[in-house]
Each structure stands twice: as structure tokens, then as C-alpha cells.
Amino acid sequence: MSKPVVAIVGRPNVGKSTLFNVLAGGRISIVQDTPGVTRDRIYADVTWLDRTFTMIDTGGIEPDSSDLILAQMREQAQIAIDTADVIIFITDVRQGLVDADAKVADMLRRSHKPVILVVNKVDSFQKYMMDVYEFYNLGIGEPFAISAANRQGLGDMLDEVVKHFPEDSTDGEDDDIPKIAIVGKPNVGKSSLVNKLLGEDRVIVSDIAGTTRDAVDTKVTWEGRDYVFIDTAGLRRKKNIKEEIERYSVIRTVTAVERADVVVVMIDASEGVTEQDAKIAGVAHENGKGVIIAVNKWDAIVKDDKTIYKHTNKIREVLSFMPYAEIVFISAKTGLRISRLFETLDAVIENQNMRIQTGVLNEILSEAVAMQQPPSDRGRRLKIFYMTQVAVKPPTFVIFVNDKELMHFSYTRYIENKIRDAFDFGGTPLKFIVRERG
Ligand code: GDP
Ligand code: GDP
């Protein structure tokens, strides 16, 4: 079950980043070998009352004229509507109600998304109570008075946010259909691929009715099998310049990846793989998703018999944290190897769901241990008792040992490689949990 997404929307200086930082606290996940993704505080996981959700801050650059402010707020609100389960609309009691607030409130109300109206900077409730009531005029419900800076009122606000999360079971039968996200830098060809898919004779497209978020997804049937492509609305919609801003593409990436089973990371062949591609791919890696690197615009480059080899090497080098990623060379424009992309999707989905029996795993384990002795520290040697697979998507293994401290990262990597030698886990990360046997 994917985590609910909560987006924070509001004018500049109302306190969006303050609220975001207070809620995120120390909980911004940092995964060691993934480059740069999480250092930028655009999104973070927050836990409240045993529900964990992904919070995104849609704010960013500060425009200097009020026209631009409104345009940007609309943009933020649209992204929130497209991607979030619940929207926190934040206003400022000291600036009072302004015209832009009313316009954005209209837009949010029309979306029928749950919107929590928050009035910030209410550092003293007595002093500002009358001013808070004014915000009822926005017509989006009861305002929650908070002081982000003083951490007041946040509990009530979060209670309300959590109330609007979709029930875990509402996804129903669609849960069986693999969900695919197409992500990548601006201009790599994501929209072109979606449009190509929608235009292909072999593809049957249907809209999904039901929960609010489905409107942004597209169901595609290819050679008898169903796939849901996630967050295609933003790709199909005529593009706005502002959407090209990196922050927005990161938000789209994070929220789409969150809900996906397999992520297609698009790279532009004419540019080659870049650090920005690595950041985007890192989001999928951190979330344990299946990954396919689609090198697009393959039609547009000059090739010889070594071109594929060179591209592959460079990708393996820049994306060294995900050696398991599958790579396909495609053209969204001509349709080159689109069927290969679907075959790879099928394989990755299968690998993400593969279960290995404990007996077989332990044969591999004892062979691995025999070939390379486990590490030791100050005379104490790591003992591995046994291992078992506890989950799929991604395949997750628990290794029982005598002493966790002795289980060095490189030895886990060694065992992972042995498992990968024995089974085709192409396209999926594997997760390992080391436990001491009690
Ligand atoms: P953003 O542009 O919406 O992200 O707003 P910021 O979070 O950067 O906050 C804008 C200003 O408002 C900063 O100077 C904050 O210190 C201040 N601020 C944020 N929350 C509060 C609050 O609860 N009370 C007061 N008095 N100031 C706040
Ligand atoms: P997005 O921003 O990732 O959605 O990228 P677009 O789909 O808008 O594509 C950006 C540009 O690249 C457009 O001018 C497309 O026509 C072009 N483009 C996309 N895919 C291909 C391709 O496979 N080959 C070539 N030659 N151009 C492509």
C-alpha cells in the first residue's frame, strides 16, 4: 500500500517551509549511497498516530509581483490537486485574507480534494481569534489556527489531515494491476512516450473511475495484459513553462514513484546520463521500486556497433547505486523497442513478486559462507544461522546472525550477489534485514 501524499500550498511567506520543517523534524530519510535526492527538503515522511505519509512542500521561488504570485499559486495548487490525497492550504493571520487566497481556495474547492484550511502565525489565540474567523469566508471549511514557529495547534491539524486518508482497502481490484510511473528530467520525452502509447493500435486505453486520484492515471492494455500508468495527466496536459522548474519535476517524481510498482526512468540519449538523472533514479531506489532505465531518442543519435555498450557503461557508472536496473534503448518518437519496454516491464514485475523458498535460500547461503568466510572483529566471528524471505515488492530477506555489529555492509552485498547469481532479480532492488537470533 503506498503512503498517502499531503501537499502544502500557500502564498510566499505564510510559513510553508517553517511548517514543513517542523513536521519533518529529523525524519527526512537519508539513504547513504543515493546521490543528493533527500538533501533537498521538498518532501519528507511524517508519522502521526501510526499513519505515515509523504509530505511535499510545493512552494519554491518567490515571485516579486502579485500577478506572478497568483500564477505560481495556481501552479502549486494544480500540482497538489494532481498528486496529493490531502491538501494543506496555509494562510497567514498577520497578512489577513488576500485576493489570491480566495482565488486559490476556489480552485481547490472545485477539485473536490480534501482541503485543510490552516491559518498560521496565530502565536496568541486570544489576540487573533477574531481574525481567524475571517477565513471562514474562503468557503473551504473551518480554519485551523496554528503557530508553526511555536509548534502550536499542530496536533489538531494533523488529526484532521489523517482523517481524510483513503482507507487501505479502497484500491480494490485495481491493486492487482501493476502501476508504472514514467519519470525523468524535463524534455527527455516522457509526454511523447505517453502519447505514443495512447496512440498505438496495440494499446487499449481506458479511464478509471473511482477514487479521486485515478483521474490522473491511465489504464493501458498491451497484448492482453493490463498496466496502470500513473500521473499521466500532467504529462498529457499542455505544458506550462513553470512545470519545467526542477522543483516541480521532483514533486511529480516523488509522488508518482510513491504509488508505482515499477518506475521507468527516462534518459535522453543525445545528452547521455547526468547527475540529475541519478537524483531522479535515486527516488525509485530509495523506495524499493522496480527500475527500468529507458534511454530515449535512440533514433536521434549517430550510432555504431559500440554505442549501446558505451551508453550502458556510462549509465552503470553514474547509477552505480542501482546495478540491478534494467536498461532499454527506445524512441518515443518512432516507437522503436516499445514492445521490448513492455517485455521488460513484465519481467521486472515478476521479479519484484518472486518468492524464494527458505530451503533454497539456505543452500545458497551455506555455499556462500563456505566460499568466503564471514568477517570477524576482535576475535569474534560473524555467524549466520539462516535466512528467509519475508516480503515481496521489493523482495525482502531477514538474515539471522549472532551479532549484528559483525554483519558488515560488504558481506551483505556479497550474499546479495550470490542470490542474484542464482535467480533473475533483474530490475528490482533487494532488501536485507539483519537480526540477532534471540
Ligand atoms: P514560506 O515562504 O511560506 O515557506 O514561509 P516561511 O516558512 O519561509 O516563513 C516566512 C516568515 O514567517 C519567516 O520569517 C518565518 O519565521 C515566519 N513564520 C513562520 N511561521 C510563523 C509563526 O507561526 N509565527 C510567526 N510569528 N512567524 C512565523
Ligand atoms: P517531457 O518534458 O519529458 O515530457 O518531454 P517531451 O515528450 O515534451 O519531449 C521533449 C522534446 O523531445 C520534444 O520536442 C519531443 O518531440 C522530443 N522527443 C521526445 N521523444 C523523442 C524521441 O524518441 N526521438 C526524438 N528525436 N525526439 C524526441
Distance (angstroms) between ligand 1 centre and the Cα of 22 equals 11
Nearest bound ligand to the CA of residue 183 = 2
CB 335 near ligand 2, within 6 Å: no
The CB of 253 under 6 Å from ligand 2? The reply is no
**Distance from chain centroid for Cα 268:** 21
**What atom of ligand 2 comes closest to residue 336's alpha carbon?**
23
ipTM: 0.73
pLDDT in tens, the chain (438 residues): 568 889 999 988 899 888 988 888 744 443 334 444 434 457 788 888 888 898 888 775 566 677 777 877 887 888 888 778 999 999 999 999 999 899 999 999 998 899 999 999 999 988 988 899 999 999 999 999 999 999 999 999 999 999 999 876 444 445 689 999 999 988 899 989 988 888 776 666 665 544 445 457 888 999 889 999 987 766 766 555 454 456 677 778 888 898 899 999 999 999 999 998 998 999 999 889 999 999 999 999 999 999 999 999 999 999 999 999 999 999 999 999 999 999 999 999 999 999 999 999 999 999 999 999 999 988 899 999 999 999 999 999 999 999 999 999 899 999 999 999 999 899 999 999 999 986
Q: Whose CA is nearest to atom 9 of ligand 2?
A: 189
Separation of CA 343 and ligand 2 centre (Å): 22
> Which ligand has the nearest atom to the CA of 147?
1
Detail the residues annotated as belonging to a binding site for GTP.
10-17, 57-61, 120-123, 184-191, 231-235, 296-299
- For ligand 1, whether the C-beta of 60 sits within 6 Å is no
- Residue 61 CA to ligand 1 center (angstroms) comes to 15
Does ligand 1 come within 6 angstroms of the Cβ of 72?
no
CA of 183 to the centre of ligand 2 (A): 13
